[in-house]
Amino acid sequence: MIPLKTAEKKGHRMTGWDYIIVGAGSAGTVIAARLTEIPTNRVLLLEAGRDTPPGDEGDEVRDPLYRATYHSRNTWPGIMAQWRPLPHNDPDSVPAFPYDQGRVMGGGSSVNSMVAIRGMPGDFEEWVDAGASGWGWDDVLKYYKRLETDTDFGDDPRHGNDGPISIRRHRRSDWPGFCDAIASELHRRGFRYVKDMNVEPRDGVCSVALTSTRSLRQSTAICYLTPEVRARNNLEVRSDCYAESLMFDGTRCIGIRVRAPAGEEILSAREIIISAGALQSPALLMRSGVGPAAHLQEHGVEVVADRAGVGQNLHEHPTCILAAHLRLNGMQPAALRAAGNMALRHSSKLGDCPPHDFYIAIANKVSWHPLGNRIGGAIAAVVKPYSRGAVSLKSADPTINPRVAFHVMEDERDFARMKMALRLFYEIFCSDAVRDVTTEAFPAAFSARVRQLNMETPVNWWKSFAGSLLMDMPGPVRRAALKTLIAPGPSLEDIFATEETLGSWIRENCRGFFHPVGTCRFGRKDDPSAVLDPAGRVYGVVGLRIADASVMPSITRANTNLTAVMIGEKVADLIKDGT
């Protein structure tokens, strides 16, 4: 614990914590649970959003269907993302769109689509090459195993069978009509079936692993912050506490200023661990004086440590979506809650791009409401992108969200691979097998209209019910309803008419999978773009560590949540070992 005289010297209230963890998300909850296994460790876990006490998480959080994001109480308000590259002289000229991030106990694991895919061995070779020694595949595999109880393959030594999080898959025989039709067409084209994509690093049609049972989401809040863990005398959990800035004595981090329900509070600890995610973690660092010096000075922030890499290296899995209205024989049964059934992992074989570099997730329903139950989607993602963006301050005021600029499709390799993925699935959608279970196929986008309809309210249920009735009308009426209500832009035929029309649509409509990473990355001490050493300690200061998706030097070829949990497990071990 920090000496009392240090706290008194700076005028801070001594609270006696060994560790304060900022952010109770996919990594922070794990670290809190693991550190408090040692009774002498006193841990305070702070969450900016609401608490979800065991049994009182909210039906939308517990549900294996992706619904929690459509309740504003579970997400950060006002976060906007710019997707296209920004001109240096006029960054506000590029439109920004809402970007959902979890702000609730469990963070992203409480609001995401519950996909549980590990990174691939080659992803971690990249991390080691970037300076993250000790993060190779052999180093991280035991933590992937530790976190899970795989209910399908628990007897496989490459899996865990006694971890906190239950992982399962929909059996191939249970895939609904739309998924089954797509899989049949892919099999006809030579794509093989992959039972377990977490241990079989090859291309093919895959059963998607999920962090859910048939009736319950497996968030880190549910699985790690159990009643037994919450009852530990050495753990305190506080919700609705927003971290405004870090407190320093020279270059030693000694505490944090938070905005709590009772007002502003200053909390002190021997070590501060930031687990606020790839957008909020760099913003907190920069507001506190750790980041690119010129940028901090521009916003009137006193520089504590000049670290050029803070906020840089932002990247995501860029995505584009093709969708189709389903016939009754294509629908998913109501009893099958989770939307994630299957996916295609594929290699572009483009230039120097690694294998397994694009991924198409198939959703047999796209939302909770009647219309969403009648729409299937193919979400094409470039899972090893080269484009990079940044998180930067708009203001030093902690109530103002940072600028989030992804610069997707800036690298032509990303653009070329997205075109390849979409062409493949346009052909799949035009196949007899898929047409037998669909009526109309169309390009989809995260428009403001769609986003508003997806917010879970009784009014939206009735609106979507009316829309679903219109979509069941004869062809001309259905197409008019589609054009007016759902997809007012160009048709698929128009988009795929030429290279130019396809490229223009991609650049206009490419978004992300809500997988931001990389903004406080691991690296070597002599690398000016690195922010952290391989133990997560921030270069240039003392007593400050980061553990969340921001630490990744490069994104994994997989949904990022399971890797964020793994990071929490491994960093907790490093701290326990005195690293």
pLDDT score of 28 more than 80 = yes
Residue 15 has what pLDDT?
56
Which domains are delineated in the chain?
4-79+100-116+218-314+516-576 (3.50.50.60), 171-207+318-384+409-509 (3.30.410.40)
CB 82 within 8 A of CB 402: no
Give the model's pLDDT for residue 381: 98
How many of the other CB atoms lie within 10 Å of CB of 205? 25
CB 222, CB 30: distance < 8 Å: no
Q: Is the pLDDT of residue 4 over 80?
A: no
pLDDT tens by residue, 278-312: 999 999 999 999 999 999 999 999 999 999 999 99
Identify the band that residue 447 occupies on the pLDDT scale cut at 50, 70 and 90.
confident
Strand partners for 166: 149
Does 341 have pLDDT greater than 90? no
When pLDDT is averaged across residues 97-102 and rounded to a whole number, the result is 96
pLDDT of residue 579: 86
Pairing outcome for strands 511-512 and 340-346: unpaired
Q: Which residues face 264 on adjacent strands?
A: 259
Q: Is the model's pLDDT at 131 over the cut of 50?
A: yes
Which range is least confidently modeled, 188-197, 438-447, 541-550?
438-447
Residue percentage of the chain with pLDDT more than 70: 97
Nearest partner of 360 among 347, 374, 375, 373, judged by Cα? 347
Distance CA 35, CA 27 (A): 12
**pLDDT at residue 6 tops 90:** no
Lowest mean pLDDT among 198-212, 374-388, 446-460: 446-460
The 10 Å Cβ neighbour count of residue 400 is 13
Judge whether residue 8 has pLDDT over 80: no
Residue 124 CB contacts under 8 Å (≥ 6 apart), including other chains:
135, 136, 137, 139, 140
Strand extents, DSSP E, 213-352: 235-238, 242-249, 252-260, 263-274, 290-291, 305-306, 318-326, 340-346
For residue 530, pLDDT over 70 is answered with yes
- Tokens 């929690």 correspond to what residue? 68
| pLDDT value for 484 | 85
Residue 449 phi/psi, 5° resolution? -65, -45
Q: What is the mean pLDDT of the chain?
A: 95
| Minimum mean pLDDT range among 154-168, 306-320, 475-489, 545-559 | 475-489
Q: How far apart are CA 306 and CA 308, in angstroms?
A: 6
Contact 425, 380 (CB under 8 A): yes
> What count of Cα atoms within 13 Å lies in the side-chain half-sphere of residue 216?
12
Residues annotated as catalytic are 515
**Sign of the CA dihedral with 331 first, then 335, 339, and 344 last:** negative
Residue 3 in this model has a pLDDT that exceeds 80: no
- Cβ neighbours of residue 343 closer than 8 Å, sequence gap 6 or more: 197, 205, 206, 208, 359, 360, 361, 362
Q: What percent of the chain has pLDDT over 90?
A: 91
Distance CA 365, CA 261 (A): 39
Q: Which range, of 331-340, 377-386, 513-522, averages the lowest pLDDT?
A: 331-340
The pLDDT of 567-576, averaged and rounded, is 98
What's the rounded mean pLDDT across residues 371-381?
96
C-alpha distance across the termini of the chain, in Å = 16
